[in-house]
Amino acid sequence: MNTSKKAKSALISVFHKDGLEPIVKKLNELNITIYSTGGTEVFIKNLGIEVVPVEDLTSYPSILGGRVKTLHPKVFGGILTRRDNERDKEQITEFDIPEIDIVIVDLYPFEKTVLSDASEQEIIEKIDIGGISLIRAAAKNFNDVICVSSMDQYDEFLNIISKNNGTTTIVQRKSFAAKSFGISSHYDSAIFNYLNTDETVFRQSFDKSATLRYGENPHQKGFFFGDIEALFDKLHGKELSYNNLLDVDAAVNLMKEFKADTPTFAILKHNNACGLAQRETLHQAYVDALAGDSTSAFGGVLISNKAIDLNTANEIHKLFCEVVIAPGYDTDALAILKGKKNRIILIQKEIELPKTQFRTALNGVLFQDIDNVTDALSDLETVTNTSPTTQELDDLIFASKICKHTKSNTIVFAKNKQLFASGTGQTSRVDALNHAVEKATHFGFDLSGAVMASDAFFPFPDCVEIADKAGITSVIQPGGSIKDKLSIDYCNENGMSMVMTGTRHFKH
């Protein structure tokens, strides 16, 4: 059985005309009859190429302000007829329906309209009916018809018909059909998510993707689904890996807490901050962030809330790091950072980040709002006899922001808006605390007068006791344990201050 098909006719109806001209000219060169309507018909005529109006085929005008143009049996019959089915052949002959072998159609820009300042009525009018129907019909009948459903497919399609004199193979038509159903399903998901108010129903679709070198480990396949270019301009370096992307995600969400603050620099490794500092200059912020854990910083992801200058770049260049992220770079600073060929340099753009997050779990998906609560001074309740000083309050809020973005169980130490140490991802809060004390000591930090943040309550007073003996003078935690009083009593007996926020910040 010969599965190759030579096209004799094509239906073209597109919203975007970019890149269409060479295809139309090639179809005309191949003596393929072209049917069209509306703006596409005018476009083809203006090229001096003969085109048959769909209205001539259907003997019916475009009606309802263009809402109904191609929805007609003479159009869909020509697309859906099975060329090897005798009954289909008889019927299209009886009703004078021409076979349509190529369908080139795209969809109204619904998602772009939603993102604009358009009214609801304008958005509703961008719900495509005819286009989506044509795509589904042509893709369904891929045995006989090839469906080109996006301008992103124009080059591939033009290459096929040019090389093969208008002939397509079943493999090619099936491939284009899969792409077409991908586009139609994504489009329907976007419409659903715009209209849906039922939070118990989950639909997600991404129309852009990237193949990664591998997943978390070399033996795992890895892909990124989303539009990374909407968030970053990549200036230099190798492609982002799966693990890079996880660290970049953690870095971006952490730095969002300090976006409007004085110069702030963070260094992350395995999704946790190993260094973070705020200073009067970005250079000093970086130096003090690196001092937090210069060992873990090796191979890490660096992020700044300010444009990177030459002095800062010179310091960064001494460190092997995978990724550098900033809102901008001075020209001379960028030249320095590009000195390592694989170093990934990103400019972060101003776009809104998602307000929800999801991940696979068991045989389904877990979905939740992001943790959008940032502890503020107004949230703090002093529960001890001693109140935090002004400096301690600033450090408590600073430490709390870091703690929120650190894997649980976690304890964070900070002083003078510098991360001294953190205990991350431990199965016991006491273990996290001891780990933080050990790290602070190893890197030469004096914890006297430092503050401590915890992502969850203390079920026993052992944590505040260990912290007190290490030099911690003030503590921030959510509270909520039935034994909160034990920790409060220890603080009162030993001159420590403690504030409670009422908000837990687990991160798993």
| Edge-to-edge strand ranges of the sheet holding 146-148 | 52-53, 33-36, 9-13, 102-105, 146-148
d(CA 122, CA 240): 38
d(CA 451, CA 391): 10
Residue 56's nearest CA partner among 91, 11, 107 is: 11
d(CA 193, CA 266): 35
d(CA 37, CA 10): 12
The DSSP bridge pattern shows strands 264-269 and 272-278 to be antiparallel
d(CA 173, CA 164): 14
Backbone φ and ψ for 56, nearest 5 degrees, come out as: -70, -35
Q: What is the pLDDT along the chain (508 residues), one digit of tens a residue?
A: 568 999 999 999 998 899 999 999 999 999 999 999 888 999 999 999 999 998 888 777 777 777 776 778 888 899 999 988 899 889 889 988 899 999 999 998 888 898 888 999 999 988 888 889 999 999 999 999 999 999 999 999 999 999 999 999 999 999 999 999 999 999 999 999 999 988 888 888 888 889 999 999 999 999 999 999 999 999 999 999 999 999 999 999 999 999 999 999 999 999 999 999 999 999 999 999 999 999 999 999 999 999 999 999 999 999 999 999 999 999 999 999 999 999 999 999 998 899 999 999 999 999 999 999 999 999 999 999 999 999 999 999 999 999 999 999 999 999 999 999 999 999 999 999 999 999 999 999 999 999 999 999 999 999 999 999 999 999 999 999 999 999 999 999 999 999 999 999 999 9
Contact 244, 237 (CB under 8 A): no
The DSSP bridge pattern shows strands 264-269 and 300-304 to be antiparallel
Model pLDDT, residue 208: 87
Model pLDDT, residue 413: 98
d(CA 420, CA 409): 17
Residue entry with tokens 């094509």: 10
- β strands within 30-97, DSSP E: 33-36, 52-53
Contact 380, 501 (CB under 8 A): yes
140 is catalytic: yes
Contact 102, 7 (CB under 8 A): yes
256 is catalytic: no
* Distances, alpha carbon 462 to alpha carbons 9, 327, 467, in Å: 80, 43, 9
- β strands within 219-319, DSSP E: 223-225, 232-236, 264-269, 272-278, 300-304
Name the active-site residue from 17, 25, 89, 140. Answer: 140
Contact 413, 422 (CB under 8 A): yes
Tokens of 291: 């001092």
Backbone φ and ψ for 362, nearest 5 degrees, come out as: 55, -125
Model pLDDT, residue 1: 57
The DSSP bridge pattern shows strands 321-326 and 264-269 to be unpaired
The amino acid present at 161, given as its one-letter code, is: I
Instruction: Classify residue 317 by burial, with Cβ atoms within 10 Å: 0-12, 13-18, 19+.
Output: middle
Tokens of 275: 């260094």
Residue 465's nearest CA partner among 433, 439, 440 is: 433
Name the active-site residue from 8, 25, 174, 270. Answer: 270
Tokens of 223: 């892909």
Residue 417's nearest CA partner among 189, 233, 264, 250 is: 264
The DSSP bridge pattern shows strands 146-148 and 167-168 to be unpaired
Tokens of 71: 């929805």
Q: How many Cβ atoms from other residues are within 10 Å of residue 320's Cβ?
A: 12
* pTM of structure: 0.87
